[in-house]
Structure 1
């Protein structure tokens, strides 16, 4: 099968591409190498895919907003399935750059959707986000929970879901949107909470919590997210649907920081700073819909995942370690 992974040099995209290649598929990764974080990490991600896929892997550098390039990639390579992981990331930066986020996350998605529909792609899998829910009216979130996006990033993700639904209904393009809940693991963006906590602890600096630490997150290990995506290669049961992809539980940021301190063996105290606006107070996924439709079952709890990430971090510290803020 010929698969296109947009955002294929990124954290989730490269992990997905690597697994697709290991399963024998042909993969083309389209990525504009946005310097939102260290490009050396993205280049290493691509090299990992090349080693696994050899002549079955191709990287194309460019933007999903480039219509001619997107057409060349999809039509020229006979793409069967698209995993759309490309997006301008970050809730907080989107507040300062709403137009840029809309142009990429909505305009770019439309470019890929339209081209997919025009060229008979079998399935389009869209990476969405738990941020579409906003302030919870109840927890855990199920897919019927009202949407109250609280950032431009969240608005773009909800808009993308709507467009996927329209193309599924009107353009005969099977689409599925997966709402990810705080994905983490090896090769994760170095500016995320877990990587920041680990980096600071291993450098004898205190983890910094923004706010009181009682805010909670549903952290999802990247292998579980990849499993959910791969399940969609073999079934049409979820076509036209939007599903939560989360873990088995949620955890407070304070408890997470305490886990990291304990697992790294650091002898330091946790520091609190002012809470950032636009951050959700709580997230927690009800994954029963994904369980029913694609047999999704999260397999890695947060303690196991933190331990596995720390082991990976130690082994790859020489090239991965993010700059530790003072």
Structure 2
């Protein structure tokens, strides 16, 4: 299978690419950003099965060239994960990348007879509804608030409408709070996961003082990649929308303690009165996502909980010479 990942230099795209390459597929990464150094090193053994293209998803000709004529599947992962300041300063750019760029990509996929498109959406689509329901199912009403959440929810509706009109195979996945390998702050990601900030504190030898415990049904990027692989391989998925989550709730604070070397003296806790947090937990407190649809249809469950993901992250950092706790 030949898969084009738009937004492929982002950490979620890189995790998806890594699993697809390991399974023998061919992958094209399309992104405006350069491939991170550790990703270039990790992907080097795959040789010509990996193609990297620099380009803007709003450039129709570049998108057409990326999809080409030999593409089997497309992953729509390009997005600006904006905070409030960028919402106010760059609304046009956010809408262009997160929503309007979908149309030329889907058009190119349709012309190339691409078998399936996976649209990476977000649990942010639930918005304020996340505070009013005990469990967020794919059928739960949505009330998105931020431009990121609004564009992600709108993206689901746009691809669903066009897939019906064009008889195309397009699936959206709502990702819970994702963290894991290749993640870093900056660029188009204004709201890095607290886990990424905890890792950064550990590498610098600084205490990780959280703005709040950060309780959420976090999902490890390797599990997201595995779920996307399941959906790409599935013969005839029954639905057009699936939640992807670990299915368990744990705090970022607990994860940081599991990640830390118990003999290293690393401090990870919630900041007390008078302390300035070094780790900001972004996003609204919300109910967990139901993963029953993925479990019932495909038997899929996340492999990494709090302790498992912390251990895997330690090993990954060691193997990629980025330092650890």
Would you say same fold, with TM above 0.5?
yes
1:93 Cα shift? 5.0
1:118 Cα shift? 2.6
Q: Deviations over 1:276-299 (max 9, x none)?
A: 797211341210011122322111
1:163 Cα shift? 0.9
Q: Deviations over 1:223-279 (max 9, x none)?
A: 211111111232243265111000030123443344445657435363255897972
Match of 1:153 among 148, 153, 167: 148
SS in 2 for 1:311: helix
Pairwise mapping of residues 238-317 of structure 1 onto structure 2 (< 5 A)?
238=237, 241-261=240-260, 265-268=264-267, 270=269, 271-272=271-272, 273=276, 279-317=283-321
Match of 1:182 among 171, 177, 193: 177
Q: Is residue 88 of structure 1 aligned with residue 88 of structure 2?
A: no
- Unmatched segments (≥5 aa) in structure 2: 186-191
1:192 Cα shift? 2.5
Q: Is the Cα contact below 8 Å between 1:7 and 1:84 reproduced in 2?
A: yes
1:92 Cα shift? 4.4
Q: Distance in 2 between matches of 1:277 and 1:269?
A: 13
Q: Deviations over 1:9-39 (max 9, x none)?
A: 2212122112222222222111110xxxxx5
Q: Distance in 1 between matches of 2:293 and 2:262?
A: 34
Compared CA separation, residues 222 and 276, structure 1 to 2 (3 A):
closer
Q: Is the Cα contact below 8 Å between 2:193 and 2:282 reproduced in 1?
A: no
Q: Distance in 2 between matches of 1:266 and 1:314?
A: 18
Match of 1:132 among 105, 125, 140: 125
Compared CA separation, residues 155 and 46, structure 1 to 2 (3 A):
farther
Size of the aligned set, in residue pairs, is 310
Q: Distance in 2 between matches of 1:309 and 1:23?
A: 21
1:108 Cα shift? 1.2
Q: Is the Cα contact below 8 Å between 1:88 and 1:101 reproduced in 2?
A: yes
Q: Is the Cα contact below 8 Å between 2:257 and 2:268 reproduced in 1?
A: no
Q: Is residue 17 of structure 1 aligned with residue 17 of structure 2?
A: yes
- The equivalent of 2:189 in structure 1 is none
Q: Is residue 45 of structure 1 aligned with residue 49 of structure 2?
A: no
SS in 2 for 1:100: helix
Compared CA separation, residues 281 and 25, structure 1 to 2 (3 A):
same
Compared CA separation, residues 21 and 252, structure 1 to 2 (3 A):
closer
Output the TM-score relative to the length of structure 2. Answer: 0.86
